[in-house]
Amino acid sequence: MNWFVTFHIVSLLVFLEGIAIAFSAVPGFLCNDPGKELFFLGLSGVFTMLCGLAGFLFTKRKDMTPPGLREGFAAVGLTWIICAVFGALPYIFCTGLFFPDAFFEAASGITTTGSSILAKGLRLRDGGTLKEGIESLSHGVLFWRSLSQWIGGGGIVVFSLAVIPFLGTGSQALYNAEVPGVKNNHDQFTPRVATTAKIMFGVYLTLTVILALLLWVKMDLFDAVCHALATMATGGFSTKNASIGHFESVYIEMVITVFMFLAGCNFILLFRLIRGMRFREYFSEEHKVFTGIVLGSTLLIALLLLISKFQSAADFHLFREIPGALRKSVFQVVSLISTTGFSTADYMEWPKSTHMLILFLMFSGACAGSTAGGFKVVRLLIMAKSAIAELKRCVYPRSVQLVKLDKTRIGNEAWRNAIGFSIIYFAVLFFTAFLLPFLCEMDPLTALSASITAISNVGPGLGELGPSENFAWVGTPAKLLLALEMIAGRLELYTILILFMPSFWKR
């Protein structure tokens, strides 16, 4: 392990984060934030930049070798943890949060999870309370909240590959560590990783700008930009306590629904579609299943809402209720499966028959190559096809059962990756859910949904962590455990868990 190379990269990425924190003071200044808030926000950014610059200069060597696979994994894993620590500074110095709360909020932001502890009445370091919850925060801190999600959604390392040429051949190791998972011929735009990162970043930035302009029609500019950043990152941090429901606008809900869906699609295929790919070719098996899950879940939940309304309302009118049921259903389905976590309604008040479907949407996630978290639809496909192949092999022992995706045989490496990830995913999910009641007073349903929402980077959960609730009441040990699970989930487990293997650190 070359520690100088590893911390050289980490330090540079911390420096870039410091620039982002300091830049957040600009919207705060334009929105007339108090001078004290601007000073501490700028100071947090400058301090982060100085720490990153000091580390970068200290680890600089004339004979610097490109990072290998080990350095790539270590750099990415350590970057997300260290960036969450420095990202907590604005919450500590500007808002007055205790470190565990600030670290949880920062980790939730940088991992695009969207879970929050910013509840009304939250106790602060000076003995006061957060009187208005999220809406108590200054514009500068609110902007940093959204910007941290946008940076995390694009991937700190993928973003750096787009702008830092010195990594050279080592960029492939960083790319593999940042974008782990099922590898196939659609994982990169071009053979050059830096070019791939630039194109990915360009698509990401373009969609964000378009969404901000569309939202500006019904929102003020600050809210439009913040919600565009959070939407394209599939993060879910809002500037309002009631999330998107605060605006009570069909236009806003539909626009955000479309862009949450796009953010859940494979960015590589989106770019190829723009460049002239046939629409039929765009709809791979994964996209067909993803779209099918969205449509099927929307119709099923809308039907269950209508049945519930029919059973409880005396003046039920079917055609009058259908638009409202579809509106609530489609927004929440796309928000959950894309792991964005915005809400317009409290689904804990929906029929209990919808809750298991909601848990599945949290678990499923969207497409590979998107900013969404979760298990990913492509892995569900591989697991389902593998299970069917095994069942057929039981009936026809001598037959050769090939597992194919888009009429192409899945390679052994991709198959082993999917199986291995599945085992690790469920092990971490249930182990965390098992630990949570020991660390905090939490019922089993809430613990299970808390673990799912953390590892899948969704945001809201079920039970006492529903969309109208928050994580403020969760104990400090449980918050720290969930924050680490968020980081592990964002990096799809391997990059973080491999750091705990003794053999990883041996020469």
pLDDT digits 0-9 by tens, 213-247? 999 999 999 999 999 999 999 999 999 999 999 99
> Taking residues 394-401, what's their average pLDDT?
81
Summarize pLDDT for 415-458 with one digit per residue, the tens. 777 888 889 999 999 999 999 999 998 999 899 999 999 999 99
Residue 161's pLDDT band, with cuts at 50, 70 and 90, is low
User: What CA–CA distance (Å, rounded) separates 176 from 494?
Assistant: 11
Question: Distance between CA 366 and CA 457 in Å, rounded?
Answer: 12
Q: Which of 179-193, 429-443, 456-470 has the highest mean pLDDT?
A: 429-443
- φ/ψ region of 455 (left if φ > 0, alpha if ψ in -120 to 50, else beta) reads alpha
* Alpha-helical runs (H) found in 283-403: 285-312, 318-337, 355-364, 377-395
Q: What is the Cα–Cα distance from 265 to 439, expressed in whole angstroms?
A: 37
Residue 426 covered by a domain: no
Give the total number of structural domains in the chain: 1
Q: What is the pLDDT of residue 371?
A: 82
User: 351-355, 369-373, 432-436, 477-481 — which is least confidently predicted?
Assistant: 369-373
Q: How far apart are the first and last CA of the chain?
A: 6
Residue 177 has pLDDT above 70, yes or no: no
Dist CA 148 CA 162 (whole Å): 18
Give the integer Cα–Cα distance in Å for 242 and 139. 17
CB 348 within 8 A of CB 247: no
The mean pLDDT value for 455-474 works out to: 90
Residue pLDDT, tens place only, 16-58: 999 999 999 999 999 999 999 999 999 999 999 999 999 989 9
Count the neighbouring beta carbons within 10 Å of the beta carbon of residue 317.
10
- Examine residue 39 and state whether it is found in any structural domain, yes or no: yes
Identify the pLDDT of residue 150.
Answer: 93
Residue 184: pLDDT over 80: no
Burial class from Cβ neighbours inside 10 Å (0-12, 13-18, 19+) for residue 17 reads: buried
3-state class (DSSP) for residue 404: strand
Note the pLDDT of residue 316.
Answer: 75
Is the predicted pLDDT of residue 345 greater than 80, yes or no? yes
Give the span between the Cα atoms of 172 and 318, in whole angstroms. 56
Q: Which domain holds residue 44?
A: 3-274
Please say if the pLDDT value at position 502 is more than 60: yes
User: What is the structure's pLDDT at 180?
Assistant: 45
pLDDT at res. 414:
74
Does residue 10 fall inside a structural domain?
A: yes
Give me the pLDDT at residue 181, please.
45
On whether residue 494 sits in a domain, the answer given is no
Higher pLDDT, 177 or 36: 36
Q: Does residue 387 lie within any of the structural domains?
A: no
Is the pLDDT assigned to residue 171 strictly greater than 60?
no
149 CB contacts (<8 Å, ≥6 apart)?
109, 110, 112, 114, 229, 230, 233, 235, 236, 237
DSSP state of 249: -
pLDDT at 293: 95
Q: Name the pairing type of β-strands 122-123 and 408-409.
A: unpaired
Beta-carbon neighbour count of residue 190 at 10 Å?
11
Answer whether residue 287 is part of any domain. Answer: no
Predicted local distance difference test score (pLDDT) of residue 306: 92
Would you say 76 and 178 are in contact if contact means Cβ atoms under 8 Å apart?
yes
Distances (CA, A) of 367 to 178, 263, 270, 327, 342: 16, 9, 12, 23, 19
- DSSP β-bridge partners for residue 129: 123
**Mean pLDDT in the chain?**
86
CA dihedral 497, 503, 505, 506 (to 10 degrees): -170
104 closest CA partner among 478, 499, 434? 478
pLDDT in tens, 294-303: 999 999 999 9
Half-sphere CA count of 162, side-chain side, radius 13 A = 18
Instruction: Return the pLDDT at 185.
Output: 45
User: What's this model's pTM, rounded to 2 decimal places?
Assistant: 0.91
Whole-number pLDDT of residue 283: 75
Residue 62 has pLDDT above 90, yes or no: no
Among 117-121, 166-170, 213-217, the range scoring the smallest mean pLDDT is 166-170
The segment with the largest mean pLDDT, out of 61-75, 188-202, 299-313, 470-484, is 470-484
Whether residue 385 lies inside any domain: the answer is: no
Q: Which residue has the higher pLDDT, 286 or 327?
A: 327
Closest to 491 in 3D by CA, of 79, 122, 203: 79
Instruction: Check whether 77 has a pLDDT greater than 90.
Output: no
Identify the pLDDT of residue 239.
94
**HEC readout, 175-202:** HHHHCCCCCCCCCCCCCCHHHHHHHHHH
Average pLDDT over residues 459-467: 89
Output helix, strand, coil percentages for the chain, rounded to the nearest 5: 70, 0, 30
Question: Higher confidence at residue 217 or residue 316?
Answer: 217
154 domain residue, yes or no: yes
Dist CA 327 CA 325 (whole Å): 5
Please state, in angstroms and rounded to a whole number, the distance separating the CA atoms of residues 236 and 115: 8
Return the percentage of the chain with pLDDT > 70, whole number.
89
